[in-house]
Structure 1
């Protein structure tokens, strides 16, 4: 049996104490919750002090300049963990409004999931964000694509690396890079899981990448998410 990965250090930011208690009860045995905060100012203080791998960040928070989670993101910009990795942010909110999703992603969040997410899926999302992946609830990922699609299209026209991919491979690449699982890609594109696996293998080979993590970094570097 392989040893388990070290537990990811997490700060939980939400203005509802009962919700914070519920998240701690659900995932506290799976990640290391090193701090909590109910508002913008307290969040910036605890994040700066503890420098966790991931911050679970509610979008609507009191305090700061009135911009909620966006104020926290700007207030903590450039922070690194003790190991030199950037402190990463995963929005966890009851809101699924496009303007909320786009605002926190523009401000620097690595992903956005809604509070309907299961404990297992939330733990998986935290670990993936800690590893550098971008993670979105499937429906919300479309908002990000719509917001940044124009810039992505301009880059795609001149990017020789993208020219190596077929149109279908580009579709699969963008969904995988945004954090979709193979089954979710298959459902979104009306193809089989086996076909998705084949396309992903082809994309990684053509782009000379070795993992989904590298693919996400590649896509983000070209503003394709």
Structure 2
């Protein structure tokens, strides 16, 4: 069963989503939040598999800011952006800060269910035209001679921090003690950064860190 937390500033939208999803398709709605700050607090308490996050919430923390903070504090939770904004700026920013998916509010409910289950399984989900735009942007960069995005830039600040500690030879337990987080959270950060960097072993991480000039022993 996929544990889902809803976050939208409109009560009628949350109610409709709960009626559509709760107890169906292997999905359990474990909570509702009306703005980003509340979503973060509830996620830390409820530990959902997926947060379905609206973007525009004018009476509190917006969805993108909440997504960025939540990925820092609860990296194992996957976030699916559900929005009315079919906009490149929102799309690219959401992906950059760690959202696992991006889907429009006018999508068929079967597509929404599929997106939730995909991100819960650890996969990414983008609606079809968004995928085309991302590929077009990437191909345009290649044609113009621009360098592809640096994989290091896709890491969160916490992942970069963990990478630095790993590169300096600290164990997961020592990193957890220094950052005042759990060993499990360190392991999650390590797994995420290795996936983003396309690396598989600790020596590869260290080699990458050396190239990036991250070995500061001061």
TM range (shorter): 0.5 to 0.7
2:38 aligns with one of 15, 39, 42: 42
CA shift, 1:21, in A, is 0.4
User: Which 4+ residue blocks in structure 1 deviate beyond 6 angstroms?
Assistant: none
Q: CA RMSD in A?
A: 2.7
Matched, 1:20 2:14: yes
Q: What is the number of residues matched between the two proteins?
A: 149
SS in 2 for 1:45: helix
| Cα contact 2:84–2:104 (8 A) shared by 1 | yes
Aligned residue in 1 for 2:67: 73
2:86 aligns with one of 83, 96, 99: 96
Aligned residue in 1 for 2:215: none
Q: 1:115 to 1:45 in 2, by over 3 A?
A: same
Q: 1:63 to 1:143 in 2, by over 3 A?
A: farther
CA shift, 1:101, in A, is 0.9
Mapped partners of 1:147, 1:105: distance in 2: 14
CA shift, 1:105, in A, is 1.1
TM-score normalised over the length of structure 2? 0.60
CA shift, 1:69, in A, is 1.2
Aligned residue in 2 for 1:29: 23
Mapped partners of 2:196, 2:136: distance in 1: 15
The one-character-per-residue Cα deviations of 1:176-219 (angstroms, maximum 9, x if unpaired) are xxxxxxxxxxxxxxxxxxxxxxxxxxxxxxxxxxxxxxxxxx99
CA shift, 1:143, in A, is 3.3
Q: 1:17 to 1:97 in 2, by over 3 A?
A: same
CA shift, 1:95, in A, is 1.1
| Cα contact 2:9–2:33 (8 A) shared by 1 | yes
Q: 1:147 to 1:155 in 2, by over 3 A?
A: closer
SS in 2 for 1:133: coil
Matched, 1:111 2:107: no
Structure 1: state its 5+ residue gaps. 1-6, 157-217
CA shift, 1:121, in A, is 1.8
Structure 2: state its 5+ residue gaps. 150-193, 199-218
Q: 1:124 to 1:64 in 2, by over 3 A?
A: same
Mapped partners of 2:57, 2:137: distance in 1: 23
The one-character-per-residue Cα deviations of 1:117-141 (angstroms, maximum 9, x if unpaired) are 2222211111110111111110112
TM-score normalised over the length of structure 1? 0.59
